[in-house]
Structure 1
Amino acid sequence: MAELNSSAGSLRGKGRTSTLSPKVDMTPMVDLMFLLITFFMLTTSLAKPFMMPLAMPVKASPGMEIADSRTMNLCIGKDNRIQWYMGKAENPLTAPEVTSLSTEGLREVLKSQNQSVQGLTGSREKGVIALIKPTDRSNYKNLVDVLDELKITGIENYMIVGTMPIDIERMKRSAIY
Structure 2
Amino acid sequence: MNTPYQNDSSDWATTTKALGWIIPDWPAPDNVNAVSTTRNGGRSAAPFDSLNLGDHVGDNERDVAANRQRVGDLLQLPTEPLWLEQVHGTVVSGMDASSGYPKADASVAFKAGQVSIIMTADCLPVLFCDRAGTRVASAHAGWRGLCDGVLEKTLAQMECDASDILVWLGPAIGA
Provide the TM-score with structure 2 as the length reference: 0.29
Highest relative contact order (Cα 8 Å, sep 6+), 1 or 2? 2
Higher helix proportion, which one?
1
* TM-score normalized with structure 1 length: 0.29
